[in-house]
Amino acid sequence: LRAALALGDDALARRAYGQITRGLGQLKTQGTQEFRRLTLLASAYEGLEHFERAARLWLRALPLGEAKPRADASARQGAARALFLAGRTQLAQATLRDATGTALKQLVKPKLTTGVLERLYGKLETSDPWRAWLALQLARARCAKADLAGCRKAALQAAAKGKDPLVRREAQVVLDEIAKWDKVVPQRVGVLLPLTGPYGRIGKAALQAIQLAAAASPQLKLEVRDTQGDAAVAARLAKALILDHHVSVILGPVGVKETEATAKVSARYGIPHVHLSATATAARRRPTVFRARMSQAEQGEVIARYGTDVLGLKRFAILYPNHAAGRQAMAGFWDTVVARGGEIRGVRAYPTKTKDFGALISALIGAKKPGKGKVDFEALFIPGASLRVRRILPFLKYWGITIKNTPTLRGRPGHPAVQLLGTQGWNHRAVLVRGENLTDNAIFVTPFYHDPNDPIADAFARAFFRKHQRKPLTFHAEVYDATRLLLGALGATGGDPNHGLRERVVTKIKSTRGLRGVTGVMNVMPDGRVVKQSWILTIDLETFRPRLKEQEEIERRRSRTRTGPGQ
């Protein structure tokens, strides 16, 4: 019996309610053990939302706990709570001996999910004095799920039926917020960016791309706010943009923590929100939030597919920076390789500030001396920034790893030539290791490439250069496309200036298929990701260009050898 009851306690902590009902339902106990069995069963049935049955069990336990004040209080509270949730509000109040109902409210509030409230409110008679208070709780629950119409309906019922002045007053507060929430100025676009603080440079870069994209929609007004790189500030500004400035949509911010804080607010009010972080938010609970930038994990997945499917490689190793983006790229690459039948033969992480990569490389290949290690992989994936990658590559050569700096290089038995693979951090001339061409033939993925023959990408690059006297980065291109996606959906949506307009914008974004942007064709997935064409680039001496089919790549490099570079 003791073991069964102990298992019941453990199951309750794990919310394994079915285990409790199966394990304790038929036990024969008495006295203290029976009290404990009944309260465990009652708690389990509450967890399963079988409130009538839970109430009966709590009431059976009540006489057994009368001799002990703590047990009596626990059973009485449980019985009152279950009775209330079963719709027997007056009996619950009498059981708890709570004339004002204040204690009972605090007792049942944690159990009042939207589903429980919907069922309970439907059970109560219109004359029940608790009905107005429950309508208020239902209004708040519906508001929290961005159900403006349902929230308004319940709040109106609470305000009209409530005999308690406090309930009526609180219902009016909800109605006042709904009125602000439902007012929309279609031309106003909320923009949240870290324009000052440690991430000010990134925020200003994003603003450059946003303003360039918005120039095509002069009727729209950008309400730009500085988050200062602070999540709490971002959340507060997002709420003010929605309720005080009545923006139709929200764009930004950039940082992970800012974005998560803003997404909670935008989802709470059902606002169309395209954020500029490359990291996903909790999309399952936030159907109005969209991510437009390519994540590090996705870049890892794309280059892994290229390595396995196009290059036909089977054995890989990974060197990655030990920070969030590096870990995401590593995980995306690793999972995709394994899913496609490949093998990961070695993985090493390095601190972001390290400069000596000797120990890292020697550990990767199990070498105590240069040239003595075991290179049993055909490709090496190195996500990371260009300067960091450039520091790593000479160590590879020093420790005896043959870099595949031409498509036809094979290496020797037991010591293959290793193909270098990377992410968009490679897309900068700082990555080049001149002299020995260690970066020649490296292959990497990037969301944007300025192809002069692509009129859309070329027009964007030229317009950006005219405005800022420099070439756009991948980040600028991604933010530009995110802005055009959001503003395009807003511009194509008509109707009355209320919250319904926002709902139509969300529907328009979700239906986006085949939208051509400067980063390629965009398609919006149900989970809020914007899936786009990605570029596979290669390094050809000091030139960055799209990778050709392998035979074409071989012929092009052979031709380069015959004619000389640049001819």
**Cα 469–Cα 472–Cα 478 angle in degrees, nearest 5:** 150
Q: Which of 439, 468, 393 is nearest to 542 (CA)?
A: 439
Torsion angle of C-alpha atoms 436, 440, 445, 448, degrees rounded to 10? 100
**Which of helix, strand or coil describes residue 530?**
strand
Mean pLDDT of all residues in 161-167: 88
C-alpha gyration radius of the chain: 31
Q: Which residues contact 237 (CB under 8 A, 6 or more apart)?
A: 192, 225, 227
User: Cα–Cα distances in Å, from 316 out to 258, 336, 346, 363, 437?
Assistant: 35, 11, 7, 15, 22
Question: 362, 395 in Cβ contact below 8 A?
Answer: no
**What is the Cβ-side half-sphere exposure of residue 369, based on CA atoms within 13 angstroms?**
1
Mean pLDDT of all residues in 217-243: 97
**Among all chains, which residue has been given the structure tokens 């019996």?**
1
Strand (E) or helix (H) holding 394 = helix 386-398
**Which of helix, strand or coil describes residue 212?**
helix
Q: Which residues contact 443 (CB under 8 A, 6 or more apart)?
A: 303, 306, 307, 311, 419, 420, 421, 422, 536, 537, 538, 547
What are 292-321's pLDDT values in tens digits?
999 999 999 999 999 999 999 999 999 999
What are 351-372's pLDDT values in tens digits?
988 878 999 999 999 999 998 8
The 3-class SS string of 124-187 reads CCCCCCCHHHHHHHHHHHHHHCCCHHHHHHHHHHHHHHCCCHHHHHHHHHHHHHHHHHCCCCCC
Strands 315-321 and 520-524: unpaired
Question: 218, 224 in Cβ contact below 8 A?
Answer: no
Written as six digits, the tokens of 286 are 């936030």
What are 487-543's pLDDT values in tens digits?
999 998 888 899 999 999 999 999 999 999 999 899 998 877 888 888 999 999 989
Q: What are phi and psi of 411, to 5 degrees?
A: 85, -155
User: How far is Cα 354 from Cα 375, in angstroms, rounded to an integer?
Assistant: 23
What are 392-412's pLDDT values in tens digits?
999 999 999 999 999 999 888
**What is the Cβ-side half-sphere exposure of residue 363, based on CA atoms within 13 angstroms?**
11
Question: 300, 336 in Cβ contact below 8 A?
Answer: yes
Written as six digits, the tokens of 251 are 């764009």
User: Which long-range CB contacts under 8 A does 144-148 form with residues at least 24 apart?
Assistant: 144/114, 144/268, 145/114, 146/267, 146/268, 146/269, 146/270, 146/288, 148/178, 148/181, 148/182, 148/270, 148/499
Q: Which of 364, 384, 280, 297 is nearest to 336 (CA)?
A: 297
Mean pLDDT of all residues in 114-139: 94
Question: 110, 98 in Cβ contact below 8 A?
Answer: no
564, pLDDT greater than 90: no
User: How far is Cα 96 from Cα 75, in angstroms, rounded to an integer?
Assistant: 10
Strand order in the sheet with 419-422: 343-350, 315-321, 379-381, 419-422, 443-446, 535-540, 543-546
According to the model, what pLDDT value does residue 283 have? 52
Mean pLDDT of all residues in 152-178: 94
Strand (E) or helix (H) holding 9 = helix 2-13
For residue 566, name the pLDDT band (cuts at 50, 70, 90): very low
Mean pLDDT of all residues in 422-436: 90
How deeply is 458 buried, as exposed, middle or buried, from its count of CB atoms within 10 A (0-12, 13-18, 19+)?
middle
At how many degrees (to 10) do helices 69-85 and 89-96 cross?
170
382, pLDDT greater than 80: yes
For residue 567, name the pLDDT band (cuts at 50, 70, 90): very low
The region of weakest confidence among 77-81, 238-242, 518-522 is 518-522
What are 169-223's pLDDT values in tens digits?
999 999 999 999 999 999 999 999 999 999 999 999 999 999 999 999 999 999 9
DSSP one-letter code for 322: S
User: How far is Cα 543 from Cα 226, in angstroms, rounded to an integer?
Assistant: 38
User: Cα–Cα distances in Å, from 529 out to 142, 216, 231, 261, 278?
Assistant: 26, 24, 22, 18, 10
**pTM for this model (two decimals):** 0.86
Q: Which residues contact 522 (CB under 8 A, 6 or more apart)?
A: 292, 481, 485, 512, 514, 515, 516, 530, 531, 532
Question: 518, 537 in Cβ contact below 8 A?
Answer: no
